[in-house]
Chains A and B, each alone.
Chain A
Amino acid sequence: MIYLQLFWEFFKVGLFTVGGGMAAVPLLLAMAGSTGWFTEDFVVQMIAISESTPGPIGINMATYAGYTVGGIPGGIIASIATAIPGIIIVVLVSRALEKFSESVLVKDAFWGLRPAVTALIAYAAFTIINKTMIYFTKIGTVPFLEFFSWQKVLFFAVMLFGIMKFKKHPVLYIAIAAVVGIVFKF
């Protein structure tokens, strides 16, 4: 049953995305390899799509993967599956809301979860960089210093500087990057 499988896979994404949008990326990259519903490259594109459209990336990827695998019902089922863990947990926590956020247990949990999620996202970033501009996995197989594209690394540095300095909406940077990509034929 493809619908059941979709439901279960994206239910897990909803449950294990701790601490905001990008936290879903490592789970989605791993899912790309194991299910073949979408490629790793597409996860990267979905990050850009998600920053430029209404949804969080977890829901967007659920809709996309669900649609490609099981048509419109597939998209709807997968998206709802991603949202269900949140609804259940919030309903349970709502009653003890104030106690919850002050609880020592919650603080301890996040003391350990924050670095773990940061590392998972850092690994996702490594995967993305390895795909787009610095081909770490090619080191040793290509001539010296040809394992990266210096134009792309330069552009990356400029982008990162711009993002950190001006703090504009991500859509702006994505639009600039699309134009630069076309003009310089990346």
Chain B
Amino acid sequence: MEQQQNIPLWKLFLAFFKCGAVTFGGGYAKQPILDREIVDKRGWITKEEVMDYYAVAQALPGIISINVASFIGHKLRKIPGAIMGVLGVISPCIIVITAIAMLFSNFQDNEYVVHALQGINIAVAALIINTIITMWKKGVKEIPQFLIFLVVFCLSLFIGGQRMPIYCVIGSLIFALVYKRIERRVRSK
């Protein structure tokens, strides 16, 4: 195992670049790759640490794989490490999407591409519904939570606007903190 303080920043960048390049999709898809590249091959941190970082990363604002890369980078080389880890993870995405953006307009009008995209849209709808079902099971268990769901959905449907998602996140956060505090006070009496 290498001494933690001696891991050069460029090695950190390369390790995360590799993790970023070989996974499809974001979030949890990267966990097995991080285990292999950062834990098994390089021994920089332990598997348990990766799990902890994932647990905390999803309880924080921001994109999960970015947060996890920041945690690991920060653990190894403080702030420069966090920055290099994140740059490593996002660099492959930037390269791939820039290439797609350059090419996309060329074949967007192709008949086969149009039909393929129509089909893909349906798969996306099914994937997103599947995500909602999973999230519903984890997140909507009590009546007040159902009310939050209902209010946020109706606000988005009937009012909408660019800032609505942000207002809803902040609003439900404040509601939750106040409600839970009152609930505890009532119970303790």
A138 within 8 A of B: no
A side interface size, CB within 8 A: 104
Contact with B along A110-152 (1 / 0, CB 8 A): 1111111111111111101101110000000000000000001
A50-B26, A54-B21 known; A178-B126 Cβ under 8 A: no
In the complex, are the beta carbons of A181 and B128 less than 8 A apart?
Answer: no
| Contact residue among B62, B119, B148 (Cβ-Cβ distance under 8 Å from A181) | B119
- Residues of chain A within 8 A (CB-CB) of B7 are none
Interface flag for B168 (CB, 8 Å)? yes
Least CB distance from B111 to A in Å reads: 9
User: Could you give, for residues 19-37 of chain B, a 1 whenever the CB lies within 8 Å of some chain A CB and a 0 otherwise?
Assistant: 0111111111000000000
Give the dominant DSSP class at B's interface: helix
List 16 additional A-B contacts (Cβ < 8 Å) besides A21-B25, A26-B156, A86-B67. A15-B61, A45-B121, A47-B127, A52-B24, A54-B21, A54-B24, A54-B96, A59-B63, A59-B93, A85-B62, A87-B82, A111-B180, A119-B149, A121-B135, A159-B123, A170-B127
B124 to chain A, nearest CB (A): 5
- CB contacts (< 8 Å) of B160 on chain A: these are 30
- Whether B180 and A108, one on each chain, are in contact in the complex, defined by CB atoms closer than 8 angstroms, is yes
Among candidates A49, A118, A128, residue contacting B125 with C-beta atoms closer than 8 Å: A128
Let me know if A18 and B169 touch, CB within 8 A.
yes
Query: Of residues 99 to 113 in B, which have CB atoms within 8 Å of A's CB atoms?
Result: 100-102, 112
- In the complex, are the beta carbons of B97 and A53 less than 8 A apart? yes
Main secondary structure of the interface of A (DSSP, over half): helix
Mark B residues whose CB is within 8 Å of A: 20-28, 52, 55-67, 70-71, 74-75, 79, 82-83, 86-87, 90, 92-94, 96-98, 100-102, 112, 115-133, 135-136, 138-140, 145-146, 148-153, 156-157, 160-166, 168-169, 171-173, 175-177, 179-181
Residues of A within 8 Å of B63, CB to CB, are 14, 17, 21, 24, 56, 58-59, 82-83, 86
Note all chain A residues with C-beta closer than 8 A to B90. 55, 59, 79-80, 83
- Complex Cα spacing A27 to B127, Å: 18
Given contacts A68-B101, A119-B156, contact A174 B123 (CB under 8 A): yes
- A111 contacts B124, C-beta separation under 8 Å: no
Check if A56 sits within 8 Å of B66, measured CB to CB: yes
**Alpha-carbon distance A116/B156, docked complex (angstroms):** 11
In the bound assembly, the distance between CA atoms of A128 and B28 in angstroms comes to 24
Contacts of A82 in B (CB 8 A): 63, 66
Chain B residue with Cβ nearest A78: B94
Q: Which residue of B lies closest to A119 (CB)?
A: B152
Instruction: Tell me if B93 and A118 are in contact (CB < 8 A).
Output: no
Interface flags for A93-105 (1: CB within 8 Å of B; 0: not) read: 1100100110001
